[in-house]
């Protein structure tokens, strides 16, 4: 569903990603792990077309998206939940989700979204800024799903969220994957969440992939070693 080849990204003269190669299958959840500053956010932003790719390519469902603008990537099936969630604080919950509908041509929030996140239905007339961190994270995921994506990117979704909500988030992400068959890429520093949610664990270290193992055979101590400072 997502294929990344020889993928390089730089800020000006400073290269941050030095040639990544990986694929994500339909219905697969991949966790990209790594300490602060290793390039996880840069990868997400470049896949979304916010930061340009300097070499290499990204394909979604067989279509090269490397030269496309962000809104074109959304219509090709990439959705993004940025670090810090970035919901619109003065807009209501419903209005926040509706901003994701522009690509689908629909004006009504699909019922399936509120089924996944019942708390958002209860709060649909509240302002986004009045929600808790966990509820805002659910809202950001709901908004991304409203674009009906094939590939969902989540940048450090557990940041600032309490443990019980983190476990619930893992459950919902797996349910979304099972029901919609989409591919999910989640950048993470919390190993327990990655082990809970992912089918495969990649580790990014100084802009290179240094580890790529299925969840079932992952060496937890080795991955933890990459994450310790």
Ligand X SMILES: Nc1ncnc2c1ncn2[C@@H]1O[C@H](COP(=O)(O)OP(=O)(O)OP(=O)(O)O)[C@@H](O)[C@H]1O
Which positions touch ligand X (CB under 6 A)? 11, 14, 16, 34, 36-42, 83
Three-state DSSP state, 127: strand
| Cβ 90 to ligand X shortest distance, Å | 26
The Cα angle at residue 78 between residues 37 and 68, in degrees rounded to 5 = 90
Closest CB to ligand X among residues 38, 145: 38
| Cβ 200 to ligand X shortest distance, Å | 18
Closest CB to ligand X among residues 37, 225: 37
Closest CB to ligand X among residues 18, 180: 18
| Residues 1 and 26 sit within 8 Å (Cβ to Cβ) | yes
| Cβ 123 to ligand X shortest distance, Å | 28
How many Cβ atoms from other residues are within 10 Å of residue 199's Cβ? 18
Which residues are paired to 18 by β-bridges? 8
| Residues 151 and 185 sit within 8 Å (Cβ to Cβ) | yes
| Cβ 17 to ligand X shortest distance, Å | 8
Question: Rounded to an integer, what is the distance from CA 58 to the centroid of its chain?
Answer: 15
Can you list the positions of beta strands (E) in the chain? 2-11, 14-24, 29-33, 53-60, 63-64, 78-81, 151-155, 183-188, 200-205, 208-214
Torsion on CA atoms 139, 61, 70, 89, rounded to nearest 10: 0
Q: Largest alpha-carbon pair distance within the chain?
A: 49
Closest CB to ligand X among residues 113, 204: 204
Closest CB to ligand X among residues 36, 216: 36
Closest CB to ligand X among residues 42, 94: 42
């Amino acid at each position: 569903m997502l294929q990344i080849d020889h993928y390089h990204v730089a800020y000006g003269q400073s290269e941050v990603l030095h040639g990544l190669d990986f694929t994500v299958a339909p219905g697969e959840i991949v966790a990209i792990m790594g300490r602060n500053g290793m390039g996880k956010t840069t990868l997400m932003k470049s896949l979304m077309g916010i930061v340009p790719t300097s070499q290499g390519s990204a394909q979604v469902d067989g279509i090269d998206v490397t030269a496309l603008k962000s809104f074109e990537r959304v219509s090709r099936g990439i959705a993004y939940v940025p670090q810090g969630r970035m919901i619109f604080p003065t807009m209501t919950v419903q209005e926040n989700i509706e901003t994701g509908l522009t690509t689908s041509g629909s004006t009504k929030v699909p019922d399936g979204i509120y089924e996944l996140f019942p708390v958002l239905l209860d709060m649909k007339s509240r302002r986004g800024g009045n929600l808790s961190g966990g509820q805002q994270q659910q809202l950001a995921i709901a908004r991304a799903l409203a674009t009906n994506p094939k590939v969902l990117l989540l940048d450090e979704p557990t940041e600032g969220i309490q443990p019980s909500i983190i476990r619930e988030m893992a459950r919902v992400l797996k349910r979304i994957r099972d029901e919609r068959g989409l591919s999910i890429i989640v950048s993470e520093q919390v190993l327990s969440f990655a082990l809970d949610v992912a089918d495969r664990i990649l580790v990014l270290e100084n802009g290179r992939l240094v580890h790529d193992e299925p969840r079932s055979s992952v060496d937890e101590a080795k991955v933890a070693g990459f994450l310790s400072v």
